[in-house]
Amino acid sequence: MKSLVPAAIIGFGIAVVLVIIAMSLSSGQSAQDKCKETSTAMTGYVSCLAAIECAKTFPGNERLQASCVKTSLGQ
């Protein structure tokens, strides 16, 4: 059970990042700027940038985006 907690936190962090990216891209704000503003210890700037690339690669498919981010970060 303990090993599931970090995975759940990482999964939640990825979901939050994907939502932030979707909002920032629709508002016209640079995604990199949004990453700088919103990166935390949980999500981090690198995972935010990975999420941007995954969002561009799999537009509109959150499941593939999350899988892409996990793969990019070696999760």
Whether 55 shows a pLDDT value over 60: the answer reads: yes
pLDDT at 7: 60
pLDDT at 11: 63
- Which residue range(s) make up the domain with 65? 4-72
Name the domain count of the chain.
Answer: 1
pTM over 0.75: no
pLDDT at 61: 84
- Of residues 5, 14, 1, the one with CA closest to residue 54: 14
Q: Tens of pLDDT along 8-49?
A: 556 666 676 677 666 655 555 566 666 766 655 555 777 777
